[in-house]
């Protein structure tokens, strides 16, 4: 797997992701499909699991209109990473046991690195929202 091939493939996926992320029903479908695939392959995705879950949470919060203080580039990269993850016939086909998710892991790692600061802001926001939701009212 050459990094240049991965970049080319990711650029193609970004174009599709730009359209999908702008349409709430399509973004919802993308999130649902990725969540289902992640659950089916949880054992193989152990090293990716946390980052994948955070990207899905951020996209869902954006989709629902709960978290909009984020640059479009971040949403685009997150959606593209998820769309790449969903493609079973990407550079390394997912059905190849033991190595099928290597390229997916690489894409996810590169995206998480590229949007690290914004993803950390989202995590802090999400934690505050979760904490506030659990506080009893007087």
pTM of the model: 0.83
pLDDT tens digits, 37-50? 889 878 877 878 89
Q: Of 20-24, 49-53, 59-63, 69-73, where does mean pLDDT reach its minimum?
A: 49-53
CA-to-CA separations, 64 to 23, 28, 31, 67, 121, in angstroms, rounded: 11, 9, 12, 8, 18
**CB contact at 8 A, 61 and 119:** no
* pLDDT at 106 (0 to 100): 82
* pLDDT at 94 (0 to 100): 46
Please name which of 114, 118, 28, 116 lies closest in space to residue 69, comparing C-alpha atoms: 118
Q: Which two tokens stand for residue 120?
A: 């950390």
**CB contact at 8 A, 102 and 1:** yes
* pLDDT at 5 (0 to 100): 73
* pLDDT at 96 (0 to 100): 45
């Amino acid at each position: 797997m050459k990094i240049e091939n991965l970049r080319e493939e990711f650029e193609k996926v970004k174009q599709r992701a730009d359209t999908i992320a702008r349409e709430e029903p399509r973004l919802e479908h993308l999130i649902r499909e990725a969540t289902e695939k992640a659950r089916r392959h949880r054992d193989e995705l152990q090293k990716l699991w946390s980052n994948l879950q955070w990207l899905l949470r951020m996209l869902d919060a954006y989709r629902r209109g709960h978290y909009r203080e984020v640059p479009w580039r971040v949403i685009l990269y997150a959606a593209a990473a998820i769309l790449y993850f969903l493609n079973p016939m990407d550079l390394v086909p997912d059905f190849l046991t033991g190595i099928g998710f290597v390229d997916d892991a690489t894409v996810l790692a590169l995206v998480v690195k590229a949007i690290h600061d914004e993803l950390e802001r989202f995590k802090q926001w999400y934690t505050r929202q979760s904490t506030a939701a659990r506080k009893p009212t007087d």
